[in-house]
Amino acid sequence: MKLAHAFLCGALLCAGAHAQDKSGYRVGDKLPQAKSPAAAQGYREISWDALVPKNWDPSQLMKGIDLGTLSDSDPRAMEALDKMRKAWAEAPVEPALNNTKIRIAGFLVPLDAQRGQIKEFLLVPYFGACIHTPPPPANQIIHAVAARPLKEVQMMSAVWVNGTLETVRSDTEFGASGYRLRAESLSPYTQK
C-alpha cells in the first residue's frame, strides 16, 4: 500500500493539493492510531489496516516499473495508473469483519448534504481522499449511513464513528467502497 500510495500522491496530486485547510490537516494526512478518549462500550476499535486482507498486496502491480524515470504523460505511467485504479476499485475486503460492531476514526466526505444535514457519507483514512486525489482502494473507503441526520459536520471533518460494519460494495461519485457502516453515533476527533 505504501508504494502505491506514494506513486499516486507523487505523480497525481492536483496543483495546490498540498495546501493546508483551516483544520490544520494537509492532503494525505492520516489520524494518529491512538485509542479514542472515550471508546464506546460494545464497539471494537479498529485501524484502517484491519480493513485490508493480509494477503492483498497492490504494489505487485508496480513490480518492475521504475517510477522515478517516468513522467506523468509517459504511456507506461498511464498504463500503470489504469491497472492500479482497477485493482483499487476491486480491492478485496476482510470477510471476518462482516457484521462487526466497530469504532474507527477517519475523515468524512458527505454524499447527500441537504439543508445542513447529512445522512450518508464516505469515511476515508486520510485527508483529501476522494477529493484531491484518485480515491483510495475500495477496502479503504467505508460508505456510512447515519441512524439520524448529522448536523454541523463539514467536508473532511475528522470524526470517530461507531456502528455495525458490513462487507457490502457500493459505487459513489467519489469512488467504490468495499464496506458499509450503519453509523449509530459520531463524535469529533480530537488530538490530545
Alpha carbons 129 and 136: distance in angstroms, whole number:
7
Asked if residue 169 lies in contact with residue 92, where contact means CB atoms within 8 angstroms, the answer is no
Asked if residue 94 lies in contact with residue 50, where contact means CB atoms within 8 angstroms, the answer is yes
pLDDT in 10s for each residue of the chain, 192 residues: 433 443 344 333 333 333 445 678 888 899 987 665 555 678 999 999 999 999 998 888 778 778 788 888 888 888 888 888 888 899 999 999 999 999 999 999 999 877 778 999 999 999 988 876 688 999 999 999 999 988 878 889 999 999 999 999 999 999 999 999 999 999 999 765
The pTM (predicted TM-score) of the whole model is 0.82
- What integer pLDDT is reported at residue 69 of this predicted model? 86
- What integer pLDDT is reported at residue 130 of this predicted model? 81
- What integer pLDDT is reported at residue 77 of this predicted model? 83
Total length of the chain? 192
Cell of 139: 477496502
- What integer pLDDT is reported at residue 36 of this predicted model? 57
Walk me through the domains of the chain, giving residue ranges and CATH numbers: 2-188 (2.40.50.870)
Question: Which three-class secondary structure string do you get for 118-133?
Answer: EEEEEEECECCCCCCC
Model confidence over 154-177: pLDDT tens digits?
A: 889 999 999 999 999 999 999 999
